[in-house]
Amino acid sequence: MSDKKYWQSFGELNNSEAYQQSVKDEFKEELPFENEGLLSASTPRRDFLKYLGFSTAAATIAASCEVPVKKAIPFANKPEDIVPGISNYYATTYVNGGEAVSVVAKVRDGRPIKIEGNDLSNITGGGTSARVQASVLDLYDTARLRFPTIGVGEDAKEVTFEAFDKEIAVALGSNPVTILTSSIVSPSTKEIINQFIAKHPGSKHVVYDAVSYSGILLANEATYGKKAIPSYKFDNAKVIVSLGADFLGTWISPIEFSKQYAKGKKINEKNPSMSKHIHFESVASLTGSNADERFLHKPSETGSVAVALLNAINGQAVSIADAKLKAGIEKAAKALTSAKGEALVVSGSNDVNIQIVVNAINEALQSNGKTIDWSATYTYQGVDADFAKLVEEMNAGNVPALFVYGTNPAYSWFAADKFIAGLKKVKVAVSFNGKNDETTQLCKYVIPSHHYLESWGDAEIKTGHYSFLQPTIAPLFKTRQWQDSLLLWNGSTTDYVTYLKTYWSAKVGGENGWDKVLQEGIIAPASTNTVSANFSSSAVANAVSAATSGKKAGKYELVLYQKVTVGATDGASNPWLQELPDPVTKATWDNYLIVSPALAKTLLNIDLTNNGQADAYEVQPPKKVVKVTVNGKTISLPALIIPGTQADTVGIALGYGRSEKIGKAAAGTGQNAFVFTSLNGNTVNYSVADVQLELTNETYKVALTQTHNGYDTAQGNRTEVMKELTLAHFKEDPKEILEDREKELAPFGGLAKFEKDGTIYPVFDRPGIKWGMSVDLNTCTGCSACVVACHAENNVPVVGKPEVLRFHDMHWLRIDRYYSGDMDNPNVVFQPLMCQHCDNAPCENVCPVAATNHSSEGLNQMTYNRCIGTRYCANNCPYKVRRFNWADYTGADSFPDNQKDVLNDVVLMMNDDLTRMVLNPDVTVRSRGVIEKCSFCVQRLQEGKLKAKKESRPLETGNEGKWDLKTACQQACPTNAIVFGNANDSHSAISITRQENKLRSFYSLEQLHVLPNVTYLAKVRNIEEEHAGAEKKEEKEHA
Amino acid sequence: MLFCTIGILFLQPRMVIFPHKTNLFVNMAFLRNTLKIFLTGIIVFLSFCFSNSASAQDGKALFSANCASCHAIDKKLTGPALMGVEDRWPNKANLHAWIRNNQAFLKTGDKYANDLYNEYNKTAMNLFPNLTDAEIDAILKYIKDWKPAAAAVQPGANGATADDKDSSLLFGILTLVLAVVAFTLMQVNSNLKKLSDDKEGVPAPEPVPFWKNKAYIAFVTVILFLVGGYYTTKGAIGLGRNKNYQPEQPIYYSHKVHAGINQINCQYCHIGVYQGKQATIPSVNVCMNCHMAINEYKGEKIYTEEGNEVNGTAEIQKLYKKAHYTPGQPWDATQAEPIEWVRIHNLPDHVYFNHAQHVNAGKVQCQTCHGEITKMDEVKQFTDLSMGWCINCHRETKVQFKENGFYSIYEKYHEDLKNGKIDSTKGITVEKIGGTECQKCHY
- Please give the pLDDT value at position B349: 84
User: Closest Cα of chain B to A336: distance in Å?
Assistant: 51
- 3-state SS record for A738-779: HHHHHHHHHHHCHHHHHHHHCCCCCCCCCCCCCEEEEEECCC
Q: Cα–Cα distance between A952 and A949 in angstroms, integer? A: 5
- Nearest CA-CA partner of A851 in A863, A860, A841: A863
Q: Cα–Cα distance between B386 and B240 in angstroms, integer? A: 9
Cβ atoms of residues A933 and A790 within 8 Å: no
Cβ atoms of residues A181 and A407 within 8 Å: yes
In angstroms, what is the C-alpha Rg of chain A? 29
- Please give the pLDDT value at position B11: 37
CB contact under 8 A, A946 and B357: yes
Helices vs. strands in chain B: H and E counts, helices first: 20, 3
In single-letter form, the type of residue at position B325 comes to: Y
Q: What's the number of CA atoms in the CB half-sphere (13 Å) around residue B327?
A: 13
Q: What is the mean pLDDT of chain A?
A: 87
Cβ atoms of residues B165 and B159 within 8 Å: no
Q: Cα–Cα distance between B204 and B198 in angstroms, integer? A: 7
Cβ atoms of residues A26 and A750 within 8 Å: no
Q: CB contact, 8 Å: B438 with chain A?
A: yes
A191-194: long-range contacts (C-beta < 8 A, 24 or more apart)? A191/A503, A192/A483, A192/A486, A192/A487, A192/A490, A192/A496, A192/A499, A193/A486
DSSP 8-class letter at A574: -
User: Closest Cα of chain B to A71: distance in Å?
Assistant: 5
Cβ atoms of residues A635 and A590 within 8 Å: no
Cβ atoms of residues B283 and B248 within 8 Å: no
Instruction: Phi first, then psi: give them for residue A359, nearest 5 degrees.
Output: -60, -40
Q: Which of residues 281-310 of B touch A (CB under 8 A)?
A: 281-286
Give the helix, strand, coil percentages of chain B, each rounded to 5: 60, 0, 40
Q: Cα–Cα distance between B251 and B263 in angstroms, integer? A: 20
- Nearest CA-CA partner of A484 in A492, A496, A474: A496
Regarding the domain with residue range B56-153, which homologous superfamily does it belong to in the CATH classification?
Cytochrome c-like domain (1.10.760.10)
DSSP 8-class letter at A807: T
User: Closest Cα of chain A to B112: distance in Å?
Assistant: 40
CB contact under 8 A, A74 and B348: no
Handedness of CA A670, A671, A673, A676 (dihedral sign): negative
For A892, the closest chain B residue by CA position comes to: B349
Q: Spell out, as residue ranges, where chain A has pLDDT lower than 70.
A: 1-4, 21-44, 62-66, 550-551, 707-720, 894, 896-897, 1024-1039
Instruction: Phi first, then psi: give them for residue A618, nearest 5 degrees.
Output: -90, -40
Q: Cα–Cα distance between A945 and B345 in angstroms, integer? A: 26
Give the CA-trace dihedral at A990, A991, A995, A1001, to 10 degrees.
50
User: Closest Cα of chain A to B409: distance in Å?
Assistant: 5
- Please give the pLDDT value at position A118: 92
User: Closest Cα of chain A to B319: distance in Å?
Assistant: 11
Using an 8 Å CB-CB cutoff, list chain B residues near A848: 10
User: Closest Cα of chain A to B113: distance in Å?
Assistant: 36
Q: Cα–Cα distance between B40 and B1 in angstroms, integer? A: 9
Q: CB contact, 8 Å: B410 with chain A?
A: yes
CB contact under 8 A, A71 and B340: yes
Give, to the nearest 10 degrees, the angle between helix B29-52 and helix B17-25. Answer: 160
**Helix runs in B244-307, H state only:** 255, 266-269, 284-291
Q: Cα–Cα distance between A208 and B421 in angstroms, integer? A: 74
- Please give the pLDDT value at position A715: 53
CB contact under 8 A, B342 and A948: no
Instruction: Phi first, then psi: give them for residue A552, nearest 5 degrees.
Output: -85, 110
DSSP strands (E only) in A383-427: 401-405
Q: Cα–Cα distance between B230 and B224 in angstroms, integer? A: 10
- Please give the pLDDT value at position B162: 44
For A948, the closest chain B residue by CA position comes to: B406
A786's enclosing H/E stretch is helix A785-793
Interface with chain B: mutation pick from A52, A69, A78, highest number of B CBs within 10 Å: A78
Using an 8 Å CB-CB cutoff, list chain A residues near B240: 67
User: Closest Cα of chain A to B413: distance in Å?
Assistant: 8
Instruction: Phi first, then psi: give them for residue B343, nearest 5 degrees.
Output: -75, 130
- Please give the pLDDT value at position B122: 73
CB contact under 8 A, B285 and A77: yes
- Please give the pLDDT value at position A550: 63
Buried/exposed A938-972: b ≥16 CB within 10 Å, e otherwise = bbbbbbbbbbbbbeeebbbbbbeeebbbbbbbbbb
CB contact under 8 A, A83 and B271: yes
What residues contact residue A433 under an 8 Å CB cut-off, 6+ apart? Answer: A145, A404, A405, A406, A408, A439, A440, A446, A448, A449
- Please give the pLDDT value at position B57: 54
A468 forms bridges with which residues in the sheet?
A458
Between strands A177-181 and A401-405, the pairing is parallel
Q: Cα–Cα distance between A277 and A29 in angstroms, integer? A: 43
Its pTM surpasses 0.90: no
Adjacency order of strands within the sheet including A827-833: A6-7, A814-820, A827-833
CA A693 from centre of chain: 29
Q: Cα–Cα distance between A465 and A378 in angstroms, integer? A: 10
Q: CB contact, 8 Å: B406 with chain A?
A: yes
DSSP string of A275-315?
Answer: -EEEEEESS--HHHHH-SEEEE--GGGHHHHHHHHHHHHTT
CB contact under 8 A, A861 and B277: no
Q: Cα–Cα distance between A278 and A346 in angstroms, integer? A: 11
DSSP string of A577-614?
Answer: HHHSPPTTT-EES---EEE-HHHIIIII---TTSHHHH
CB contact under 8 A, B235 and A857: no
Q: Is A638 helix (H, G, I), strand (E, B) or coil?
A: strand
Q: B155 exposed, middle or buried (CB, 10 Å; 0-12, 13-18, 19+)?
A: middle
CB contact under 8 A, B239 and A63: yes
Cβ atoms of residues B406 and A949 within 8 Å: yes
For B436, the closest chain A residue by CA position comes to: A855
DSSP strands (E only) in A490-621: 522-523, 556-561, 587-588, 593-595
- 3-state SS record for A174-203: CCCEEEEECCCCCHHHHHHHHHHHHHCCCC
- Please give the pLDDT value at position B173: 92
Using an 8 Å CB-CB cutoff, list chain A residues near B10: 848-850
Domain boundaries, chain B: 2-52, 56-153, 167-238, 255-384, 386-443
User: Closest Cα of chain B to A799: distance in Å?
Assistant: 21
Cβ atoms of residues B393 and B426 within 8 Å: no
First to last CA, chain A: 17
How does pLDDT run across A1006-1018, given as a tens digit for each residue? 888 889 999 999 9
Question: Domains in chain A, start-ordered, CATH in brackets?
Answer: 149-212+382-508 (3.40.50.740), 214-378 (3.40.228.10), 559-704 (2.40.40.20), 709-713+726-1021 (3.30.70.20)
A111 forms bridges with which residues in the sheet?
A108
DSSP string of A852-872?
Answer: EEE-TTS-EEE-GGG-----H
Using an 8 Å CB-CB cutoff, list chain B residues near A844: 14
Q: Which of residues 344-363 of B touch A (CB under 8 A)?
A: 346, 348-350, 352, 354, 356-357, 360-361
CB contact under 8 A, B409 and A982: yes
Cβ atoms of residues A832 and A775 within 8 Å: yes
Using an 8 Å CB-CB cutoff, list chain B residues near A922: 277, 352, 443
pLDDT in tens, chain B (443 residues): 333 333 333 333 333 333 333 333 334 444 445 545 555 545 544 444 444 344 445 777 788 777 876 677 877 766 788 888 888 888 888 888 888 888 788 888 888 888 888 877 676 777 777 788 888 888 888 888 877 755 444 444 444 444 455 678 899 999 999 999 998 998 898 888 888 888 888 776 777 777 788 888 898 999 999 999 998 888 888 877 888 888 889 999 999 989 888 888 888 889 889 888 888 899 998 888 888 888 888 888 888 888 888 888 999 999 999 999 888 888 888 889 999 999 999 888 889 999 999 999 988 998 899 988 888 888 989 988 889 899 999 998 989 888 889 999 898 888 888 888 888 788 888 998 889 999 999 98
Interface with chain A: mutation pick from B360, B439, B441, B442, highest number of A CBs within 10 Å: B439
Give, to the nearest 10 degrees, the angle between helix A302-313 and helix A323-337. Answer: 40
- Nearest CA-CA partner of A609 in A1036, A85, A106, A10: A10
Q: Cα–Cα distance between A946 and B400 in angstroms, integer? A: 13
| Angle value at C-alpha A529, between A528 and A531, nearest 5 degrees | 125
